[in-house]
Amino acid sequence: RVVVVGSLNVDSTAYVRSFPAPGETITAHGLRVALGGKGTNQAVAAHRFGADVELLARVGDDANARLARDTLAGFGLATDGLGIEPDAPTGVALITVADSGENTVIVASGANERMSPAVVAGARERVADAGAVLTQGELPVATIERIAEVAREAGTRFVLNLAPPVEVSPDTLAAADPLVVNEHEARAVGIEPGDAIDGWLAAASAAVERGLAQSVVVTLGAAGAVAAERSDADGRVTAWTQPAPEVTPVDTTGAGDGFTGTLAAALAAGHPLVDAVRLATAAGALAVQQRGTVDSYADRDAVVAAADA
């Protein structure tokens, strides 16, 4: 089982020829309304990989919350972990995509900001019997820190996707097993690469050596990922690269979340980190070949087949 404590947003994307100037009203040539938020995306990916997932998130008492519940139920996910905040709106991301391919994003966190440390403390028992607890940077910092504490007390594996790269305490980072970051987030926590992939390998290894986190996974887009962990047997740090399958990307949104959700599900199922990273990389590569975010995640059989190819 995987407990995901995370954000839930409804993403409204307007496709426009070019961005409006201040004061200007323009007409979009397309609109897409979809479920999003990193926590929610990752919960769907973990569920698609076959994990029994419990998503703990906060929503408002509004139409977007109903859309979220319906969408999650459509995927077969339980929705009883969605707490209602009567005086806050469900989180919304307002996205514009211009014909040039550039985008702008405004996130109005709404009910996500109400995910308090107390909510996490109340979920102690559910965390205790999970194989992994997964969270991201889209929650209040005090809440992320409490999740790390609850996981440590319960002896449950703590997977931290520090996206966006908010400032959490060194203890919280040190508990992450693994800390999952993309290139930009890696730099923000002091994982500084030298040149190309070998530089990332050395940087991930050095980060685990100095105790930044229990283990580290850096996703590198089309180049796949690098990872480092300390062996339980002899305490030595090993680091490795995981190339991504070569594919033609159609839409890369949600690839990182597909990666991370799959990674947490594979770890909770008992796979060693090296296998989990291989499966997650395959899941990410499958996600970029489909449009959308939660709609782009493949099921377990497809992920396993792509990872073995």
Q: Please report whether residue 225 would count as binding ligand ADP according to CB under 6 A.
A: yes
Q: Does the active-site annotation cover 257?
A: yes
CB 192 within 8 A of CB 214: no
Nearer CB in complex with ligand ADP: 90/242? 242
Binding map of ligand ADP across residues 138-177, x = CB under 6 A, - = no contact: ----------------------------------------
Cα separation, 29 vs 279, whole angstroms: 37
Enclosing H/E stretch for 31: strand 30-36
CB 103 within 8 A of CB 96: yes
Cα separation, 11 vs 105, whole angstroms: 10
Out of 12, 79, 241, 252, which residue is the one contacting ligand ADP (CB under 6 A)? 252
Cα separation, 228 vs 218, whole angstroms: 9
Nearer CB in complex with ligand ADP: 40/182? 182
Kindly indicate which of the ranges 9-17, 58-66, 168-176, 241-249 contains the residues binding ligand ADP, using the contact rule CB under 6 A: 241-249
Q: Please report whether residue 285 would count as binding ligand ADP according to CB under 6 A.
A: yes
Query: Residue 270: phi, psi to the nearest 5?
Result: 100, 5
Cα separation, 70 vs 82, whole angstroms: 12
Q: Please report whether residue 288 would count as binding ligand ADP according to CB under 6 A.
A: yes
Binding map of ligand ADP across residues 5-44, x = CB under 6 A, - = no contact: ----------------------------------------
- Beta-carbon count within 10 A of 250 CB: 12
Cα separation, 164 vs 141, whole angstroms: 11
Residue nearest to ligand ADP (CB): 256
235 contacts: CB under 8 Å, gap ≥ 6: none
User: Any known ligand binding at 289?
Assistant: no
Kindly indicate which of the ranges 3-11, 23-31, 199-207, 222-230 contains the residues binding ligand ADP, using the contact rule CB under 6 A: 222-230
Catalytic residue among 52, 62, 70, 257: 257
User: Any known ligand binding at 40?
Assistant: yes
Size of the site for ligand ADP (CB under 6 A): 18
Q: Please report whether residue 204 would count as binding ligand ADP according to CB under 6 A.
A: no
155 contacts: CB under 8 Å, gap ≥ 6: 128
- Beta-carbon count within 10 A of 206 CB: 17
* Residue among 197, 120, 127 at smallest CA distance from 157: 127
List the binding residues for substrate: 9-11, 37-41, 138, 257
Return the active site residues: 257
The site for ligand ADP (CB under 6 A) is made up of: 182, 219-222, 224-225, 244, 247, 249, 252, 255-256, 259, 281, 284-285, 288
